Amino acid sequence: MIDDANILIVDDEVGILKMLEITLQKEHFSNITTASTKVAALQALEEQNFDIILLDVMLPDGDGYELCSGIRQQTTAPILFISARSSDFDKLTGLSVGGDDYITKPFNPLEVVARIRAILRRQRVYEKKTDQPEVKSYEYETFIFSPDKALLTVHGNAVQATAKELELLQFFCKNPNRVFTTSQIYELVWGEDVYGEEKTVTIHIAKLRKKLGDNTRKPSIIVNLRGIGYKFIPPTGDA
């Protein structure tokens, strides 16, 4: 059940915390924790595990981007930024430090609920897939990815990656040498009912390239075909 998810909302505006909490409760989400400071958020993370985190950028005792980086050291739970900062730079920063999506204020609370449901649904589907013992490992010359263990090793070293990054990698591994447009990738990996931006895909691919050790200036694993889309080229083919 998606509605039993543990949700953490971090925002210094009491009105927004209350509005989101009431809206989520009306939508049958009951496990909701709120925090208005960086310290309170970190304490909540120490006390329990969360399935999704809603995070503001501007907090009274710290920067939401820094907090996101810290959270990523503890959990791979999806992080949805909700911020009044609406520039492309702010959105790219949020995604680059570990965020999975970004909503700007003011926002429709029902849109937030829709995104939460979409993210959680994709998360549950991914977890269900990785629970299946028959899922194979993708073994290449430079890296090995085991979906059943949510484990990525590059040149023999374990590499930390978020659930969304692993889901994106699994999508590419399942579809080698096929070209997909950015919008197709967004729809197939993020979900067709999520109202996001295509630059989300670009940022996640850039992060994935870096973790795979792909040359970011001249990539050879996840190749960008200018004006067309992206193609995953296995380093040596499936072993």
Q: Residue ranges per domain, the chain?
A: 2-128, 134-232
pLDDT digits (tens, 9 = 90+) for 179-210: 998 888 888 888 754 445 678 888 899 999 99
Q: Mean pLDDT, to the nearest integer, of 172-179?
A: 92
Report the percentage of the chain scoring pLDDT > 90.
54
Confidence check: pLDDT of 97 > 70? yes
CATH classification number, 134-232, choose in 3.30.450.90, 1.10.10.10, 1.10.8.50, 1.10.287.70 = 1.10.10.10
> How would you class 21 by CB atoms within 10 Å of its CB: exposed for 0-12, middle for 13-18, buried for 19 or more?
middle
CATH number of 2-128: 3.40.50.2300
Residue 38 Rama label (left phi>0; alpha psi -120 to 50; beta): alpha
What separation in angstroms does the CA of 234 have from each of 24, 188, 231? 42, 20, 10
Output the six-digit token pair for 174. Answer: 């399942």
Mean pLDDT on 96-120: 89
pTM of the shown model: 0.64
50 is written with which tokens?
Answer: 């969360």
How confident is the model at residue 59, as a pLDDT?
95
**Quick one: pLDDT at residue 1?**
59
What is the reported pLDDT for 238? 45
Distance CA 63, CA 71 (A): 12
Q: In Å, what is the CA distance from 116 to each residue of 7, 80, 148, 229?
A: 9, 8, 24, 27
Q: Whole-angstrom Cα distance, residue 113 to residue 115?
A: 5
Mean pLDDT (whole number) for 25-34: 93
Average pLDDT over residues 129-148: 76
